Amino acid sequence: MELDPQQHAARTWFEALRNRICAAFERIEAEAGSDATFAYTPWDRTDPSGDPGGGGVRGVMKGKVFEKVGVNVSTVGGRFDGDFAKSIHGAGEDPRFFATGISLVAHMANPHVPAVHMNTRFLVTTKRWFGGGADLNPPIPYAEDTADFHAAMKAACDAHDSDHYPRFKKWADEYFYIPHRKVHRGVGGIFYDHLEGDFDANFAFTKDVGLAFLDIFPAIVRRRMGLAWTDADKARQLEWRGRYAEFNLVYDRGTLFGLKTGGNIDAILMSLPPHATWE
């Protein structure tokens, strides 16, 4: 699949960010006395037309601190199939598309350490835009962690546009909500989509979101990973993971996009927790 300079630059960044995040997470495992590392599985995609449609790499680590963390990168292209094209920004009149991005979900062994999601992406249809964000999902919330996570996201936003943080925080609060449970998935973060126009400015912002995540989440993990936990704490974590799974299977746009575009099933569903309960 031939890439233009913008597509190449975005893909290169997402892959470099993956490498930095995975290295940071492996360092945490080493600090905890674990030799866990990421296992990487490449995959290829065939477009519904029968042509090669790109692919990606699924990275998964199961360790002492990270019970299950997936960090995926993908670069795919081709044509959206059928009516799905009409639901994608700029694809209603032309179903051809390109997409590259990074997607991360971490489920932690210690219930005091929050689960987390981060995704940033670049899409091309008849328009070009960035989207993504990051949100914190603690079974046992700590006000300090929530404040620090939001402060990191706000700093990334404020460096580019003072309107970004209030707008994207509100968007996350609205998006990461489970209507049938009438609860939010976690304590929020930021979510943005269809950020188009100035490629360089929007790309710089998207990079800063990834770097802010890389800075703040490992700090929160180190703060909480040594805390003692009880059976009741673990039960609370497993129940909350059930809510997380419900959101990702019923409402998450990324899950639907991956399924509709013929992505790798294991990579798409890596967001699901290794264990959960429904009482």
Q: Which residues contact 46 (CB under 8 A, 6 or more apart)?
A: 52, 53, 262
Contact 273, 241 (CB under 8 A): yes
Say what the pLDDT of residue 201 is: 98
Contact 83, 70 (CB under 8 A): no
Q: Of the residues 8, 107, 112, 117, which is catalytic?
A: 117
User: What torsion do the CA atoms of 154, 197, 8, 1 make, to the nearest 10 degrees?
Assistant: 130
> What tokens were used for 37?
């590392």
Say what the pLDDT of residue 262 is: 72
List b or e across 93-127, with b for residues whose CB sees 16 or more CB atoms inside 10 angstroms: eebebbbbbbbbbbbbbbbbbbbbbbbbbbbbbee
Number of domains in the chain: 1
Predicted confidence pLDDT, tens digits, the chain (279 residues):
789 999 999 999 999 999 999 999 999 999 999 999 999 999 998 877 778 889 999 999 999 999 999 999 999 998 887 778 777 888 888 888 999 999 999 999 999 999 999 999 999 999 999 999 999 999 999 999 999 999 999 999 999 999 999 999 999 999 999 999 999 999 999 999 999 999 999 999 999 999 999 999 999 999 999 999 999 999 999 999 999 999 989 998 788 777 777 778 888 888 899 999 998
pTM of the model as a whole: 0.93
> What tokens were used for 89?
């920004």
CATH of the domain at 264: 3.40.1500.10
Any domain includes 156: yes
89 is catalytic: no
- For 33, list phi and psi in degrees, rounded to 5: 85, 20
Choose among 276, 279, 277: nearest CA to 67: 276
Say what the pLDDT of residue 219 is: 98
Distance of alpha carbon 65 from alpha carbon 62, whole angstroms: 8
Any domain includes 256: yes
Alpha carbon 45 to its chain's center: 20
Any domain includes 195: yes
Distance of alpha carbon 16 from alpha carbon 24, whole angstroms: 13
Say what the pLDDT of residue 150 is: 98
Any domain includes 276: no
**Burial classification of residue 74, based on how many CB atoms lie within 10 Å of its CB (0-12 exposed, 13-18 middle, 19 or more buried):** buried
Say what the pLDDT of residue 94 is: 86
Any domain includes 278: no
Any domain includes 179: yes
Distance of alpha carbon 62 from alpha carbon 57, whole angstroms: 17
Provide the domain limits for residue 18. Answer: 5-271
Any domain includes 279: no
